[in-house]
Amino acid sequence: MADPSPERADTHPVLGIFWMLVTGLCFVAVTALVKLVGPGVPPAQSAFLRYALGLIFLIPMVPAMRRAVLTRRTLALFGARGVAHTAGVICWFYAMTRIPIAEVTAMNYLNPVYVTVLATIFLGEKLAARRVLAIVAALVGALIILRPGLRELNSGHLAMLFTAFVFGFSYLLTKVLADTVEPAVVVFMLSVTVTLGLSPFALAVWVTPTWTELGLLSAVALFATAGHFTMTLAFRAAPLTVTQPVTFLQLVWATLLGAVAFGEPADVWVMIGGALIIAAITFITWREAVLRRRPITPSVPQTKG
C-alpha cells in the first residue's frame, strides 16, 4: 500500500486522482452489471461465477504463491477471512437485487468504519477522541441513509449492514496477513478460498445461466480486477489523503446510473448520508497520515467484493 504520508516527494496528485476516478468507474460498472443480472441467477450462484470466472486473473500470481511459506496460523487466518468474505459477498449480491444502487454504494462506505472499531478491539489500536467523533459521524450518516421509522426497510438493507461488518472483519485479517506474506498471496488466497466457500451455496440453488448472464458475470470479474489494479496505481501515485475524497464520486455516478438505467429515483438523503460517511473516513485517514502511522483503515474501493 502506498505511504499515506503527505510529505512524500514522489507523489503525483493529479495522476492519483485520475486513477482513483477510473477505479470508481470500474466499481460502479461492477455494481451495475450485478444489478443487470438481477434475480434471474441466485445471489450465491452469481457470486460464485464472478469469482470462478475471475480465477484466470490469478495466473500471474502463481510465482508468488510458490515462494510463500504458509504456517498453520497463516492458513487459519486465510480460512477465517475466506469464510467472512464468502458471507459478505453473498449478502452483497443479494442486496443488489433488493435495494437501489446508490444505497448499496453509500452503505458500503461503512466498511472502513468497522475496520477502525475492530482494530481497536482486536489489535489494540488507539481510539482517540477525534476518531470516536468521526465514527459517530459516520454512523449518523448511515442513519440518514436508512431513516428507520420514516420509511420501510427491507432485507436488502439488513444484508448490506451485515456485509459492511463482515467485510470489515475480512479486511482486518488482511492487515494482519499483509505483515507476513506478499500482497499477491493475499489476493490469490482470498480468490481461491471464496470460490471454494461459495461453491456449495451455489450448487444448492443452481440454475443454468444463459450466455448473456455468463457474459455479464465475466464482465463483472474483469471490471473488479481492473478496479483493484487501477486502485493500486492510484495509491502508488498519491497518498490516501489525496485519493480518499475522490471515492465520493462513486456515489454520484451510482445515483445517476440508477436513475438513468434502472429508473431508481435519486434520493438526496442517501447523498447527504454518504457524504457524511466519506467525510468521517477522510478525517480518520488524514489523522493517520499526520501521525505517520501505517493506515489500518482501507479506502472505500478496497472493500469491494
Query: For 31-66, what is the HEC assignment?
Result: HHHHHHHHHHCCHHHHHHHHHHHHHHHHHHHHHHHH
Q: Identify the residue whose cell numbers are 443454468.
A: 208
Alpha helix stretches (DSSP H) within 97-146:
101-108, 111-122, 129-146
Cα(304)–Cα(143) distance, rounded to whole angstroms? 22
In Å, the largest CA–CA distance within the chain is 55
| pLDDT score, position 5 | 41
R_g over Cα of the chain: 18
Asked if residues 301 and 140 have their Cβ atoms less than 8 Å apart, the reply is: no
| pLDDT score, position 294 | 53
| pLDDT score, position 266 | 83
Cα(111)–Cα(232) distance, rounded to whole angstroms? 19
Asked if residues 301 and 253 have their Cβ atoms less than 8 Å apart, the reply is: no
Mean per-residue pLDDT pooled into runs of 10, the chain (305 residues): 44 82 88 87 92 89 89 93 94 91 88 81 77 87 85 88 90 81 85 95 95 92 84 74 75 86 86 89 75 54 54
Q: Identify the residue whose cell numbers are 460517511.
A: 277
pTM above 0.85, yes or no: no
Cα(106)–Cα(288) distance, rounded to whole angstroms? 23
| Cα 232 → chain centroid | 14
User: Closest Cα to residue 95, out of 47, 27, 55?
Assistant: 47
Asked if residues 93 and 46 have their Cβ atoms less than 8 Å apart, the reply is: yes
